[in-house]
Chain A
């Protein structure tokens, strides 16, 4: 089966959605991203990435949670789908497997 390609930034954003666990929408995602990775990106980048993730089926979204802070406008709240969660696990598994394969002194040497 051909695996859907998940880009690096996409993976980070998907992880953020997973971390926020049902609380993730444009603002929280971009703030968490900045907080934990130190990466400051434009809002458009995140917006586009989320749309792309949804088209690929890794996240699903629905509108809800209007509040006075945002002038009564609704948020688009994102959740990780089963497919998205599979993809994250796959990546983690792949990384783990790859780490196992690294000879034990290679990184220590380069670390000096």
Chain B
């Protein structure tokens, strides 16, 4: 009936209603509004719109201050507030008594929460550090790195983080938005030493201009920020470097010698070691003015607009538009290029973004300054989610255990209610209880974090700390997480327990809304195990993929290979002598020299290859390595067709080998001494013509082998002879026979230093070098595994508590069953069955989730394993067995109990 009346219901003018809402006392607003609405409708029907409006207004006025009488609040009738100090003290006292009374239960709750919180804090610290990368620079929001995207003639796009020298200069002088600019470039590695030449270190050398310390906030402990890098042949070194070189941090004015410059450098500044969360790393900086007198600079780089030699950071003025600055730079570059050359697209990348969003950017001009330090925003999300889940699972434990044990507290609640406690105060009491427990867990968790941090730092290679000098935001997270955990775990039990009817409680009928409660509990267990299984599967897949990567047949044999760097001209000139002496050593099987070695991430040379059959100008981009005739044998690379290089240098300098991919791209099926042209070479996305275009003959095709990370597919490769105009030899590769390698290496060092006594003899094992590609993955794998262990542990802890409780509650039932002849086995299965169901559902739910997530992760690899059904089966099996073990412990205990004991106690 009402429903039919509703459409012609009249409502009063809005502004009058608003007046009422605004001014009428809040505690009676609802009923008064309703009453007046009804009256208005009544008046409207009786006498029409305007009289009704007028009457409404008049009546509204009558219930506005000062005419209206205020209804007193319930607590103004002399009731005590729930926030009364005495009551709070009482709640805390009761909380501690309960803790002491049910020790096992409290221990499970506290251990679970402690575990969850410890994991959460560690992950928070890790993520906080990742997210505040570079944020220590005061002007971080105004600093940008110029990057350049260009497309080569054959459509290949490159994105580089370095630009021509002139751009930085142009930006500061011509663009009003730019406050300052700093140019940085890597010179490669050099030996640096103190003036006596005693402490020699091979270091990546970085050139920086004099604005470096004005724009960036690396802390200088000695020296003048503004002038430190002004003069030629001056240097700023890190504290650690100063200690290494001079044994003291008081290094100002001291002399640094290098093997790359004839003039020694004078130290004009010492800076604190670069913070671990800086994306730009250095330990020695040379002034840019040093290179101003170099020939390559004066003739080429210094006046250049289009190359990629200088990483340039701009400090913009407040509110400057980075987009428009980028456009202006592009226009300026276009104006300085010859007509036929096209300028690339320029971007200003915010300093904050460098850590996470530089994946596709080639930053070889910075090289070691940032190698291996790139973050991955996906993992930030993944870890954040894991951290929250671990904490959530711990909260669920608390909820489950507390609601399960509600009957224990029933009498207490009943008496409290009879004595006048209302719902609010009971709710508050239970929240206080959960907060007390959370707080105890917090104290233990903070201690645990302190204990875990040294190990955690060692393997994340970070310098995380949680102490009084930590960022206030870290403590904010701690406080918020604790409060939230306490409230979240306390809220449902508090809500449920305070709802009980006192009469029923005292009578002992506790399972009023029982079925719903167990359903919820089971739902929460399902949730816990879904998460656990997803994480187990994830760990399995990550582990298997990384093992696959480690053991995959790379196309060459990476075991027992030692790489020795060729660092000086002396060594390079005498490589034949060294090679033959090396091969005479007892522990050595093969020796080879090459320009690059597989697993090398330093700039691999790129060449353009032109086959006579193709139209002019259509070239293929390929990677180039120079090698000698022993290269294939040493690396165990298979020659598919044709022949290897011979041993006669002049003849073979025009021969090349190509890999399968290159053969496919060039359309060559068998090596038949075809002539190909290599007109241009390059790196960093720049290609420039060779002085004399190289004409070479294809003499052999080799099987594809991986010379980069397995994240990338094998690209076409040209192996040229060691004597070539593209890249000179840089490495010895020695295959050891396996025994006594330290001694062999000692002999190799001796041989090398006989030729060049100043050489440092740098060497590494190739397999270890390759493992570095997957270092981040390995690290994440460890984090994954520990988190999975924590999750499963906490979930099982909850299951343990629940099963203990059930066994205890059903003690009498079990007693009766035993008296009637039930076997231990049947009782165990009776008790365990209930717990198996949610675990099984959890596994079912987890399967698609885990499959989707892991499939996404594997997309990242060019060579990958498949996600297979047995992984889920194994994860499910693991989850079930762990759950069963946990539950069985309690069930068996209950089943073995003497029925006399349980039945007597009535």
Contacts and interface: CB of A to CB of B under 8 A. Distances in A.
Contacts of A73: 30-31, 33-34, 37
A57 to B, nearest CB: 11
A76 B32 CA distance: 9
Given A27-B38, A67-B2, A68-B2, A43 B59 contact: yes
A55 B62 CA distance: 20
Contacts of A76: 28, 31
B68 A47 contact: yes
Nearest to A43: B59
A39 to B, nearest CB: 15
B30 A74 contact: yes
B441 to A, nearest CB: 41
Contact of B34 (A47, A52, A75): A75
A104 interface: no
Interface string B16-37: 0000000000001011111111
B59 A26 contact: no
Contacts of B3: 68
B68 A71 contact: no
A48 B68 contact: yes
Contacts, number: 84
A92 B41 CA distance: 36
Nearest to B29: A73
A81 to B, nearest CB: 15
B663 to A, nearest CB: 78
Given A27-B35, A43-B62, A75-B34, A69 B69 contact: no
Nearest to A72: B34
B34 A68 contact: no
A10 to B, nearest CB: 12
Contacts of B32: 26, 43, 47
B41 A69 contact: yes
B602 interface: no
B901 interface: no
A51 interface: yes
B31 A63 contact: yes
Interface in B52-97: 58-59, 61-64, 67-72
A16 to B, nearest CB: 14
Contacts of B70: 51
B336 interface: no
Contacts of A30: 39
Contacts of A66: 34
Interface SS of chain A: helix, strand, loop or mixed? helix
Contacts of B41: 69
Residue from B11, B31, B41, B58 whose CB has the most chain A CB atoms within 10 Å = B31
A55 B68 CA distance: 15
A86 to B, nearest CB: 21
B42 interface: yes
A33 B2 CA distance: 25
A44 B58 CA distance: 10
A48 B69 CA distance: 5
A27 B68 contact: no
A75 B68 contact: no
Given A25-B31, A31-B42, A68 B6 contact: yes
Interface string A45-82: 10110011011000000010011111101111000000
A27 B59 CA distance: 12
B5 interface: yes
A44 B34 contact: no
A55 B72 CA distance: 8
B6 A69 contact: yes
Interface residues of B, number: 31
B56 to A, nearest CB: 9
Contact of A69 (B5, B33, B36, B58): B5
A37 interface: no
Given A48-B68, A63-B31, A43 B37 contact: no
Contact of B67 (A44, A51, A71): A44
A27 B39 CA distance: 6
B37 A44 contact: no
Nearest to B35: A26
A100 interface: no
A71 to B, nearest CB: 6
A42 interface: yes
B14 to A, nearest CB: 13
Interface in B35-49: 35-39, 41-42
B833 interface: no
B810 interface: no
Interface in A9-39: 25-27, 30-31
B584 interface: no
A4 B9 CA distance: 42
Nearest to A74: B30
A66 B31 CA distance: 9
A66 B37 CA distance: 13
A70 B37 contact: yes
Contacts of A47: 28, 32, 62-63, 68-69
Nearest to A48: B69
Contacts of B28: 47, 51, 76
Nearest to A41: B62
Contacts of B63: 43-44, 47
Nearest to B3: A68
A63 B64 CA distance: 21
B62 A44 contact: yes
A48 B65 CA distance: 11
A26 B2 contact: no
A31 B332 CA distance: 84
A43 B35 contact: yes
A73 B69 CA distance: 21
A31 B46 CA distance: 13
A55 B37 CA distance: 26
A52 B42 CA distance: 26
A76 B5 CA distance: 23
Residue from A51, A68, A70 whose CB has the most chain B CB atoms within 10 Å = A70
B17 to A, nearest CB: 10
Nearest to A51: B69
Nearest to A31: B42
Contacts of B61: 44
Nearest to A47: B63
A45 B37 CA distance: 17
A30 B6 CA distance: 22
B59 A70 contact: no
Contacts of A43: 32, 35-36, 39, 59, 62-63
Contact of B2 (A55, A63, A69): A69
Residue from B5, B6, B41, B63 whose CB has the most chain A CB atoms within 10 Å = B63
Residue from B28, B33, B36, B38 whose CB has the most chain A CB atoms within 10 Å = B38
A42 B63 CA distance: 9
A70 B38 contact: yes
Contacts of A52: 69
Given A43-B63, A47-B63, A51-B69, A69 B9 contact: yes
A79 to B, nearest CB: 15
A71 B2 CA distance: 12
A69 B38 contact: yes
B37 A71 contact: yes
Contact of A44 (B2, B68, B71, B72): B68
Interface of A: 25-27, 30-31, 42-45, 47-48, 51-52, 54-55, 63, 66-71, 73-76
Given A47-B32, A63-B31, A69-B5, 8 more contacts: A26-B35, A43-B39, A44-B67, A48-B67, A52-B69, A68-B9, A73-B37, A76-B31
25 contacts: A25-B35, A26-B31, A27-B35, A27-B38, A31-B42, A43-B59, A43-B62, A44-B61, A44-B62, A47-B28, A47-B32, A47-B68, A48-B67, A48-B68, A51-B28, A51-B71, A68-B3, A69-B5, A69-B9, A69-B37, A70-B33, A70-B37, A73-B34, A73-B37, A76-B28
Interface of B: 2-3, 5-6, 9, 11, 28, 30-39, 41-42, 58-59, 61-64, 67-72
Sorted nearest first, the 3 A-B pairs with minimum C-beta distance are A44-B62, A26-B35, A73-B34
